Chain A
């Protein structure tokens, strides 16, 4: 090619052409059924009868999900003794149950086993902290695996008499009302009110949350119970119907010059607290006090999660920034037994219960001809073997994480609506990055790990409703959708950016669970088994934590590096919808994958793999521990059944959950759906149309320019509240 000379360039030097990048035209599509026909023709919500896509569907208006029986009388023990509070079954936390079942759910042993259930008694170590158990449950029981209470019983199918029993579980996802027994339980003053009340309106039966919320575990690490996948293939969706409560008609916000949280000119509220026009703090009426007066100055917000916070020695009172959570997913508390001494060195050496037999009533060889492994209802006739109980493990100091906080990192996410009517999320993100020190990260010396509180919120939602000024309590459909950039299958789910990245198998156990490149032992996939297992184990288990493997949080180690290197497999989009319309989109959102605590299964029963509806998680705020003060010897033999219990709110590294998520949504709840697929916008709008008349929903986008009275935009659902 010859030399170019600009002076000899004879063509146009300036030109333009039409930009078609925003030119959109449409044409007739072929007559194929290559679309989601349900969106057009179904008269039910999407996948209403398909548990493989909608495994959790709770509708409080159906007897399949709940038994309406809530009232103030049995919510809070005002004027009654604590003994009655604990012994009267009417005070039991309410239980709600999913209509649908995940087809791959398991709630009993899968190996050859003919027993009727599986019993987990180590719930005593953690069950008090969110009200699943109360003190009376523990006092009246004996430590035996054959004892019914307070152990958790797993069934393939629940007997009808146990459908709403808080201790009995089958393949349907079950949630219970969180009760706060922890501060201080020994007096008549129960400081935290977790009330849930019956209510009825044009939508049918629903429940008003006045401090309380529902929580449930969907997997018990190390036990044969998993009713939801921990990491769905392509993403997940959460849908719920919330009644946003109005306060009164003439509030002007913000409520305080020193507080950034206010009502911002609207008269709606999710925290249950506001300043009236006289400047007095007012809280939503609770069951815990005389309904004639709710002045902040007199009885105060100490009665709700939203207005109190643990400060290390007691509760600080005042407005917090951890209210309004309507959905939560992940770990519900830090490892309560993380620290060896837990302020009482007498705990050192204490162990969990002995008494459970494993799945299949594992037969262990004794060599004694007199031994026969029968098990109560298990396999029979193995002479020279015996069915042994699982060995207890140490109660404290077993966690392999550097701090208790590490169990929370990237393992907790809450979704909330704030008082200024913004919807968004909060999570505690595990972070790692190279510091610009001039060194390369290859040396490892400039890579730092930590955590950050990550949040993102929308603009005020549905301005037509929240700022129009009619101030009537209204229902809204809320959808949260996580759509991963890449769909994963089979082993990829665990290995590609999954929690397996962090799992370190102990060197002496490595041969059992993997192989070196070029080794002779065949690979085991993501659910390793040994060719000749020394003892049969249920399938789909990780290596037993922590005896054989653990999460390795060494910041400069290979495991942590792999976790961050494979971040791309966790990336996706988080989208929020109100009444079928997109209101907030978070691009480049990193998935939160729930995982178990980095400790023995016995001391974390029901702590990991939780979901909450109508609230966040209390952490260790209401935690109780056996009182070991003054005990110098033989102390362990008295716990858990013969101990007094005292309040325990954790060391400084055990407070992340309570400080960031111990709040609730104050308002009404009616339905919740948890899909294990990302719903598409047309599916969400379809669900909106299906429930539009039941909840008198409005299309906020279509109505925003329709203030003079479009037919479908009338918000006349009930009479307006009075002036403040």
Chain B
């Protein structure tokens, strides 16, 4: 998975969602997710030096497709200026602590999440 963002830009936010392949109990996952703590880490792909280490991430509700549809969440990380100060290719991971059953999940699992911070030539006028 490749995520692209420009240097010094805090948008777009990094937003992940559950793989719904029909085999897992997705409602149970979202219920657990609603009472969890999530942290995001990101390291340089080449050097392995952490760029972001266990910074707080969160969940945000998806807009429901209909009023009575079940609540689903995205997992997101909101960039800070410091996170995107340096260009490069990084690998990111989330760790999710589920408070209901005191378990934790590190994700993504099957496929690595790569974040490419590319150079930008515009500067904020402020």
Contacts and interface: CB of A to CB of B under 8 A. Distances in A.
A29 B28 CA distance: 20
Contacts of B108: 25-27
A28 B60 contact: no
Contact of A25 (B3, B19, B78): B19
Given A26-B94, A234-B67, A39 B29 contact: no
A24 interface: yes
Interface in A30-87: 31, 34-36, 39-40
Contact of A26 (B13, B17, B23): B17
Contacts of B47: none
B24 A21 contact: yes
Contact of A36 (B15, B19, B63, B107): B63
Contact of A28 (B1, B71, B73): B1
A25 B61 contact: no
A680 B71 contact: yes
B15 A581 contact: no
Contacts of B59: 681-682
A24 B15 contact: no
Contacts, number: 101
Interface string A174-191: 000000000000000000
Contacts of B21: 20
Given A35-B60, A39-B61, A682-B58, A24 B18 contact: yes
A40 B35 contact: no
A701 B34 CA distance: 13
Contacts of B113: 28
B18 A26 contact: yes
Interface string A683-704: 1010000000000000101100
A319 interface: no
A640 B23 CA distance: 71
A27 B58 CA distance: 15
B105 interface: yes
A701 B99 contact: yes
Contact of B68 (A28, A31, A35, A487): A487
Chain A: interface residue count, which band?
A: 20 to 34
A298 interface: no
A28 B108 CA distance: 9
Contacts of A233: 67
Contacts of A39: 58, 60-61
Contact of A27 (B67, B68, B76, B111): B111
A28 B58 contact: no
A261 interface: no
B23 A23 contact: yes
A582 interface: yes
A34 B62 CA distance: 6
Nearest to B67: A487
A702 B16 contact: no
A465 to B, nearest CB: 16
B72 to A, nearest CB: 10
B55 to A, nearest CB: 13
Contacts of A21: 23-25, 28
Interface in B22-55: 23-25, 28-29, 34-35, 37
B10 to A, nearest CB: 10
A437 interface: no
A28 B3 contact: yes
A485 B59 CA distance: 22
Nearest to A702: B37
Contacts of A26: 16-19, 75, 94, 107-108
B91 to A, nearest CB: 13
A257 interface: no
A25 B107 contact: yes
B12 interface: yes
A146 interface: no
Given A20-B23, A26-B75, A26-B94, A31 B12 contact: yes
Interface in A446-490: 485-487
A705 to B, nearest CB: 9
A149 B78 CA distance: 56
A234 B70 CA distance: 13
B94 A581 contact: no
Contacts of A520: none
Given A27-B111, A35-B62, A701-B99, A22 B37 contact: no
A26 B108 CA distance: 5
B60 A40 contact: yes
Contact of B61 (A20, A486, A582, A680): A680
A540 to B, nearest CB: 23
Given A24-B18, A29-B74, A582 B35 contact: yes
Contacts of A485: 68
17 contacts: A21-B28, A23-B23, A25-B110, A26-B16, A26-B107, A27-B17, A27-B108, A28-B113, A35-B60, A35-B61, A35-B63, A40-B76, A40-B78, A487-B68, A581-B35, A581-B99, A681-B34
Interface of A: 20-29, 31, 34-36, 39-40, 233-234, 485-487, 581-582, 680-683, 685, 699, 701-702
Given A25-B109, A26-B107, 16 more contacts: A20-B21, A21-B25, A22-B24, A23-B24, A24-B19, A26-B16, A28-B17, A29-B16, A31-B15, A34-B63, A36-B63, A39-B61, A40-B58, A485-B68, A682-B59, A701-B35
Interface of B: 1, 3, 12-13, 15-19, 21, 23-25, 28-29, 34-35, 37, 58-63, 67-68, 71, 73-76, 78, 94, 99-100, 105, 107-111, 113
Closest 5 CB pairs of A and B: A20-B23, A681-B34, A487-B67, A29-B17, A29-B15
